[in-house]
Amino acid sequence: MEVKISPSMLASDFANLQSELDKCKNGGADLIHLDVMDGHFVPNISMGIPVIAALKKVCSVPFDVHLMISDPYRYVDEFVKAGADIISFHVECDSDIEKTIDSIINAGCKAALAVKPNTPIESVYPYLDKLSMVLVMTVEPGFGGQSFMESTMPKITALRKKCPDIDIQVDGGINADTVKIAGRAGANVFVAGSAVFNSTDPAKTICTLKENAKL
């Protein structure tokens, strides 16, 4: 499987988003991870549609938009219009899952389903045919800078066994060490916020993550 690194802008300097995006691009980031929170599905509020639309104008790396919101169905078209290339939403949300996936795909975007650490991976199985990616959260969604939960790894192993070709993304607490654990379990798309943006050399960190994911 191709290894992809998706730096999470949540950990970037919000006063300098354009230069932070440039660092990701120059470091060889494969995707840009944008965390959208509504203060309802998760106890935090981050960025939204206008910010993503503005960033899209200055960045050519594909946008991987992670919706931590209660009613993703309602906003699909707006996020696609803003520039999302992949939209992940949570299987635990209030929207109709099938309808939301169909609406993402019909809008010309790739659809992904995310599961919180305590949600069984089987919850995504009915939708696998339509999904480009499954996001297995390795922390409770809502905040950056938390510790990687290794207890989520069996879900990745099970999904990789069932679907040898699907993109499996991990998000939360990914660094130069934990990327190896998730990679060995079968993940191939790695979100990293603090590891990239708290590093003195983000480009080098992206490179290290990519190499270590295969170790």
Q: Which residues bind ligand DX5 (CB under 6 A)?
A: 8, 10-11, 33, 35, 66, 139, 141-146, 171-174, 191-195
Per-residue 3-state assignment (H helix, E strand, C coil) for 96-145: CHHHHHHHHHHCCCEEEEEECCCCCHHHHHHHHHHCCEEEEECCCCCCCC
Which one of 30, 64, 167, 171 is the catalytic residue? Answer: 171
Residue 76 CB, nearest approach to ligand DX5 (Å): 19
**Cβ contact 210:177 at 8 Å:** no
Taking CB atoms, the residue at the shortest distance from ligand DX5 is 193
Using the minimum distance from each CB to ligand DX5, give the nearer residue, 28 or 145.
145
- Pattern of binders to Zn ion over 55-94, x per CB under 5 A? -----------x----------------------------
Catalytic residue status for 177: no
Q: Measure the CA–CA gap between 82 and 66, rounded to whole angstroms.
A: 14
Among candidate residues 39, 50, 12, 29, the one with its CA nearest the CA of residue 142: 39
**Closest CB to ligand DX5 among residues 32, 174:** 174
Q: How far is the CB of 144 from ligand DX5 (least distance, A)?
A: 3
The catalytically annotated residue of 30, 35, 64, 167 is: 35
Residue 171 is a catalytic residue: yes
Q: What are phi and psi of 85, to 5 degrees?
A: -100, -35
Q: What is the DSSP letter of 43?
A: S
Q: Which does 28 bind (CB under 5 to 8 A by kind): ligand DX5, Zn ion, none?
A: none
Interface pick for Zn ion out of 35, 73, 166, 168 (rule CB under 5 A)? 35
Give the C-alpha separation, 140 to 102, whole Å.
26
Q: Which residues are catalytic?
A: 35, 171
